[in-house]
């Protein structure tokens, strides 16, 4: 799929607070609300695409950037619920919300200008710094990581993988998703790992 195939087209959205999806990453979801069961049913009958976007507040306002996901796996349960896995396709920018009769919300989304972060590879010094800080961060948190496998990841998969799984707050993850370039996202990820890796005696993150 190229960005231009869905630019300016309708995207059915799932504005689920706390659930961010990054390109080429996967997000498992249990779907139980009737409106989102309808969303999944509709997506399965059409193109399997769902837009994940963060709500900005409890009034339904949305952040301007989300990530389009494709249902790569699903399990339809007897009572109408679903277990699905969304695989990130590309970021999108919300142009406007559409007036629809479906129980789920739909927007007009633009992928053409919103996916610049998938562009040029990282400079070798940035890649080395990212891997080094990821090792330190994982050690501080007690994570067990296959670093040989990590070293084989392409730049985008490494950056997006850390951004999706690291225990950053939602505002920080949204900022990572909105980063203009992959290099920007990598630099922000390094800074966040350094910040979240600093703890005081109470286990709270502190600025030094």
Report the half-sphere exposure of 82 (CA within 13 A, side-chain side). 22
pLDDT band at 189 (very low <50, low <70, confident <90, very high): very high
Pinpoint the alpha helices (H) of 122-167: 124-141, 147-151, 155-165
Helix, strand, coil: what percent of the chain each, to 5?
A: 35, 25, 40
Convert the pLDDT of each residue in 89-136 to its tens digit.
999 999 999 999 999 999 999 986 556 666 688 999 999 999 999 999
The reported pLDDT for the residue numbered 113 is: 59
Strand 49-52 to 65-76 pairing: antiparallel
The reported pLDDT for the residue numbered 169 is: 94
In the three-class reduction of DSSP (H, G, I as helix; E, B as strand; rest coil), residue 141 is classed as helix
Mean pLDDT along residues 37-59: 95
Out of 45-49, 138-142, 172-176, 196-200, which region has the weakest mean confidence (pLDDT)?
Answer: 196-200
User: What is the distance of C-alpha 201 from the center of its chain?
Assistant: 32
Out of 27-31, 75-79, 141-145, which region has the weakest mean confidence (pLDDT)?
Answer: 141-145
The reported pLDDT for the residue numbered 9 is: 85
């Amino acid at each position: 799929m190229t960005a231009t195939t869905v630019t300016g087209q309708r995207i059915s959205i799932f504005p689920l607070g706390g659930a961010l999806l990054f390109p080429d990453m996967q997000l498992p979801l249990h779907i139980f609300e009737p409106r989102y069961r309808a969303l999944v049913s509709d997506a399965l009958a059409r193109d399997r695409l769902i837009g994940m976007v963060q709500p900005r507040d409890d009034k339904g306002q949305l952040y301007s950037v989300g990530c389009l996901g494709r249902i790569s796996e699903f399990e339809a349960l007897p009572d109408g619920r679903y277990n699905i896995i969304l695989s990130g396709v590309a970021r999108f920018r919300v142009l406007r919300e559409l007036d629809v009769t479906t129980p789920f919300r739909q927007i007009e989304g633009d992928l053409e200008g919103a996916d610049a972060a998938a562009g040029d590879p990282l400079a070798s010094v940035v890649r080395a710094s990212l891997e080094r800080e990821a090792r330190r961060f994982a050690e501080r948190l007690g994570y067990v990581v296959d670093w040989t496998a990590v070293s084989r990841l392409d730049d985008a998969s490494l950056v997006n993988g850390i951004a999706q799984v690291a225990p950053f707050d939602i505002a920080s993850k949204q900022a990572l998703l909105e980063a203009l370039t992959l290099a920007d996202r990598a630099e922000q990820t390094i800074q966040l790992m350094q910040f979240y890796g600093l703890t005081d005696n109470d286990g709270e993150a502190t600025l030094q």
